[in-house]
Chains A and B, each alone.
Chain A
Amino acid sequence: MDIKNETLHYLGYTGQSLTAEEDRQIDDAIAEVIEVARPKTVHRVFPLSREEEKLSVPADLDLNYSSLHELLADVGEVLILAATLGLELDRRLRYYARTDASRLVIMDAAASAWVERVCDELQEALPFDPYTFRFSPGYGDVPLLLQKQIVRVLETQKRIGMTLTQSLLMIPQKSITGIVGIGGVSKKRSCAGCALFDHCEFRKRGTTCYATKEQMPE
């Protein structure tokens, strides 16, 4: 999917008319994100074992949440990944926060689209198929606390420069952690379990945040 379409999608674009100047500004903002971003990823693949309804991997990582049981129901391996666009982009976004708010929101959306793309490309380059959708801590019943374990297992600070704050926010801000099942049935994303389910602006517009990449929800 085209990065510009995704950026517009994140911005809540529903076909409003754009002047040539506005269109150019969006292109410029996307180009600046791509120029400033230093995408980095780290991943590990672990064999998944099941004993008495408990999932385990040879790492200090607790996968025993019902959302993960559902995600990983019929897979034999699990891909743990993290991706980030780097601190320089954070710095640039902070700069625009002080100087140009419209540039800021477009770049913020473009960066969100870009970091998703980085994860997609990582998965595409790996020799596995099919995948489940990419699950991140904070969805369903999986607490953000699981981020701590992922960060340690992947050594994200050392490998890609990604850390957590005391409140478990990722820094750099444009970062993703993901848990992906490998093999089995390729599960699709759904809005069930999302914290924003009841008041999501995307859903109100009859779409989803991930709609440009997967089919629309039922």
Chain B
Amino acid sequence: MLRDEGTNARIILREKLGKELLVFDGAMGSQLHARGSLPGELPEACNIDHPDWIVDIHSGYLESGASCILTNTLGSNRFHLEDSKYSVREVIEAAVRNGRAAIERERARCEREGIDKESFLFFNIGPLGQLLAPIGTLSFEDAYDAFAEQIDLVKDSVDGVLIETMSDPYEIKAAVLAVKEHSDLPVLACMTYDVNGRTLVGTTPEAAVTLLEGLGVDGLGVNCSLGPKELVPVVEKILSVARKPVIVEPNAGLPIYKDGKTSYNVTVDEFATYIRGFVESGISAFGGCCGTTPEYIRACLQEIGDTPFAPRVNSPETRVCGPTDCVRIGGRTVVCGERLNPTGKKKLKEALTHHRLDEVFSEAVAQEKAGAHVLDVNVGVPGIDEAQTMTEVIRGLQEIIRLPLQIDSSDPEVLERACRVYNGKPLINSVNGKQSVMDAIFPIARKYGGVVIALTIDENGVPDSADGRVAIAEKIIKTAASYGIDKSDIIVDCLVLTASAQQEGALQTLEAVRRVREELGVYTILGVSNISFGLPNRPLINKTFLSMALYAGLDVPIINPLDRELMGVIDAFEVLSGQDAGSADYVARHAHDITHAVLSAQSSVTTLTEGNAGSSNLTDVSLFALVRSGRKDIIPDAVERELSLHEPIFVINHVLIPALREVGDAYETGRIFLPQLIAAAEAAKAAFAILNVRIAAGGSAEGKGPVLLATVEGDIHDIGKNIVKVVLESYGFSVIDLGKDVPPERVISAVREYTPKLIGLSALMTTTVASMKRTIEALKELPGICPIIVGGAVLTSDVALSIGADFYAKDAMETVSIAESVVKKSGNG
């Protein structure tokens, strides 16, 4: 293949995409099984073992009317081929040769028969077979490298790339980035959906479209998973939002295994009828997946006949997404949670400085529960590696919450690294009217996808007037366009100034909001609470300003979602503005509100509290009893009562420790079982948290530890480690939890950073005990290393000693007693 021809084919392909119906081939795997390949064998080996089969299968599809064929390379990556006798290079080169041979054969046939037809060879990429971290253990970077290795081998020898059968948006992101950074090939990307209309990882079609269009694919769609009938709702959802050409490749229904043979339950005619329906609905390309044959493709073309090609045209929407769901801006009010920003928050600042990310994560969880739709994430505190912390926080957040994130940093380097690891399409906070800032940020947004927040400030500061701010917004939108970024991917922050300092500023901001929406057709965002600095009863000002801003057209208020009154303003506004149809959401959220009318001498004030019938009547129960019975929910009041009578250290020594001792004994003797032990530990931990703050304030802090905990590399079963952590903390130890799947280097760097008194490692499986051994060996190289304790289902004290550990603990209670003795020896605690 000459390079010129290849480049030419790419140009032609790009021209045809979305302009005429492209016809792809059908199944490869089931065709190979029909020729004698066994279930479980790698179909990709057939490229070398049976090239004649592969060329024949390709030719069958081309003759049936397909113009685009896929190389037999769905699993041709370093992970699937690990146990194969063939290398990635051998398999891929053979597959491309076979594809080219079939295309050459088709060209000759067409020439002979006087048919004018151009055929294209697509390199087929499928899942790597391992799930990416944080749910799995494969790192995003390793996934990227595996895809890049494939692309490097084909970038000059195929006409396009089709990524298929993906369930995980993170994996498809790695694949798309690898294609785009290692070639200039057109790339189409398909995900596979389950009967519930989401991928097996939970992604909706709308979120997939949002992610993929953000990444700049040339086309996108759905393949495999279901028969054409079951795909109808998925295809409709994709078509309702996609702005890129849509491709659909259904299975021939579901597989039926009988007498060692596999067949599929959708007939050729039924399949063809549905494909014609999809073409009428506006798809741009089709093919077949599992169980389809050349007959299916031929029948589709007959059925389609001269059905007009009419790809769906959608107007742009402003959407962001996380791993599973997307949020549209510009309809109902989108609440952006402001609390993951250390500015003015001492506690969060300290948590970030000391790497106590659990506190960051609980803050996120609380905001999600309170009803936020998007969370701002800013980790800018002095003295930490901001980019490293940002990527770590994003990954941790995306493991446990579904909300899209707003990546907030003033450092373009941090934004770039964060956008790369982010799973989905984020909000990017922010650009402003300064040319240098736009030149740094827009390329990042263009490459990874993202909705960019445009601050109406430039070299000359914030203009006083609405005019000035609208002008800056306009300039930013124009500049974005020059980078290929549509204005639907911009939202404007007209900037809230403090009313106590610039009283006339409030109305100017709102006027700018109104004009940005009306004149520029762009949505808006505001950090609401800035308005009230320096004034008494700030919540009152905030609420009033929020209602005014919503009325002016504010789409995304950045607020504290835990502030029920502020959230209530939005609910009420949406009733009065008609957005909450039938007031349904308002009633659902506020039916049980209790309003207290409190009369004072001159005025009546109404406050709103959350309705809570059946509230606890246990307020008189002792702290000791509450710890024993595991009631962490009502611990704070009990601690305060004790503190009104005693010094904190007295409460620890005479209430908490005896309670824990009793609980420990009860557990050891079988009077209570695991969940009761843990509930008690959590209650004690909650008490310690309050008491430690008091002790620290009194200047006589005396923590035990720290103890470093990690589940070793390769292992994701960390429930045992989590139990140990809670129980250790309940005994007043400070614990640094490195999480699961932790590489030895990470443990070592944490040892250097925190100089722990004890290191605890856990591993569940025999396969990961080896990894534990490697970690211990690496740690023992360090001079003056503290003792190491290990635990896990398949460990025994013999195994523990044989892999170099100092201690083995069978459960959390034993870990506590060992930790106590170690800490005592080392003269702390």
Contact = CB atoms under 8 A, between A and B. Distances in A.
B675 interface: yes
Contacts, number: 166
A213 interface: no
A38 interface: yes
Interface in B206-234: 224-225
A56 to B, nearest CB: 11
Interface in B251-268: 257, 260
B480 interface: no
Given A60-B41, A87-B200, A101-B681, A169 B399 contact: no
Interface stretch (A10-18, A65-73, A117-125, A184-192): A10-18
A11 B768 contact: no
A168 to B, nearest CB: 5
B135 A22 contact: no
A50 interface: no
Nearest to A161: B200
Interface string B181-225: 000000000001010100011100000000000000000000011
Nearest to A160: B200
A167 B770 CA distance: 10
Contacts of B127: 157, 163
B135 A87 contact: yes
Nearest to A150: B40
Given A97-B719, A102-B675, A167-B765, A87 B201 contact: yes
Contacts of A86: 200
B675 A60 contact: no
Contact of A171 (B39, B131, B810): B131
A129 interface: no
Interface in A148-192: 148-149, 151-153, 157-158, 160-161, 163-169, 171-173
B679 interface: yes
B234 to A, nearest CB: 16
B676 A16 contact: yes
A100 B630 CA distance: 12
Given A38-B196, A105-B719, A11 B130 contact: no
Contact of B796 (A152, A169, A199): A199
B361 interface: yes
B165 interface: yes
Interface in B741-779: 764-768, 771
In this complex, the interface size class of chain B, counting residues with CB under 8 Å from chain A, is 35 or more
Per DSSP, chain B at the interface is loop
Interface string A51-76: 00000001111000000000000000
B400 A16 contact: no
Given A59-B38, A161-B201, A171 B719 contact: no
B249 interface: no
A80 to B, nearest CB: 10
A173 to B, nearest CB: 7
A91 B681 contact: no
B725 to A, nearest CB: 8
A168 B165 CA distance: 22
A175 to B, nearest CB: 11
A149 B717 CA distance: 22
Nearest to B165: A158
A14 B673 contact: yes
Contacts of A169: 137, 714-717, 764-765, 767-768
Contacts of B673: 11-14, 16
A196 interface: yes
Given A16-B676, A98-B361, A171-B135, A163 B129 contact: yes
B260 A98 contact: no
A167 B136 contact: no
Given A38-B196, A99-B365, A106-B675, A149 B40 contact: yes
A105 to B, nearest CB: 6
18 contacts: A16-B670, A22-B630, A58-B39, A59-B39, A60-B39, A87-B135, A94-B134, A94-B400, A98-B361, A100-B682, A101-B682, A101-B723, A102-B679, A165-B716, A167-B765, A168-B765, A169-B717, A199-B810
